[in-house]
């Protein structure tokens, strides 16, 4: 509104000033048409950007409904805290190819978070569990289902001094085949389809 009033004031001052040559009517019509065309292009561009952003927000809704909770999961043999991450699909459609690329957690009091590695335990006998590397992937997570991953502190030599995430980084494919990265508590970020693994 202020711009329109300013434009009217400038036109009024220009048309009443004695030293100003206003030119011909066709020149004014042409200039006005160019001005309206430019304004239309700007409005169309803003509308397109707004619609595109809104569409991307709608696409990410299913991934937002993948709920992740970290839980303490007892102490290991070195009295370091173990963790369990629980992923629950709260959407009405399945999610696919969930892969946890990294998880960091605090394993000792008054210490920084460290990189964690997934593990699984298999009972050899009643009181003899065998620990092995655990899966960081879930091929399909149906609506309403939950899956867990157990974590222990990684070898100090494997610790990355400058991680790209604070606590967790995972990727997921939604029910429409779109791939998303989620880092910590940030919004899902749409990413290109990864190249197919061979072998």
Give the pLDDT confidence of 104-159 residue by residue, as tens digits: 998 888 888 888 999 988 888 877 777 788 889 999 999 999 999 999 988 766 66
Q: Tell whether the model's pLDDT for residue 43 goes beyond 90.
A: no
Model pTM?
0.65
Q: What is the pLDDT of residues 55-113, one digit of tens each?
A: 556 678 899 999 999 999 888 878 889 999 999 999 999 999 999 998 999 888 888 88
> What are the DSSP calls for 18-81, one per residue?
TT-----HHHHHHHHHHHHHHHHHHHHHHHHHHHHHHHHHHHTHHHHTEEEEEEEEEE-TTSPE
Q: What is the pLDDT of residue 5?
A: 58
Q: What's the mean pLDDT in 32-36?
A: 71
> Which domains does the chain possess?
61-191 (2.60.40)
């Amino acid at each position: 509104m202020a711009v329109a009033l300013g434009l009217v004031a400038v036109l009024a001052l220009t048309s009443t000033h004695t030293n100003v040559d206003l030119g011909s009517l066709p020149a004014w019509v042409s200039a006005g048409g160019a001005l309206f065309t430019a304004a239309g292009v700007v409005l169309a561009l803003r509308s397109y950007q707004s619609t595109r952003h809104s569409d991307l927000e709608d696409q990410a809704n299913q991934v937002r409904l993948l709920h992740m909770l970290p839980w303490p999961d007892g102490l290991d043999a070195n009295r370091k805290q173990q963790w369990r991450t629980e992923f629950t699909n709260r959407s009405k459609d399945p999610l696919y190819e969930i892969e946890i690329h990294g998880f960091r957690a605090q394993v000792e009091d008054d210490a920084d978070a460290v990189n964690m590695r997934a593990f699984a335990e298999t009972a050899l006998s009643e009181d003899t569990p065998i620990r092995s590397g655990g899966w960081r992937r879930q091929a399909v997570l149906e609506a309403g289902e939950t899956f867990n991953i157990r974590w222990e502190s990684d070898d100090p030599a494997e610790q990355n001094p400058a991680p790209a995430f604070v606590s967790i980084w995972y990727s997921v494919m939604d029910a429409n085949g779109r791939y998303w990265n989620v880092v910590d508590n940030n919004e899902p970020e749409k990413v290109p389809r990864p190249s197919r693994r061979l072998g």
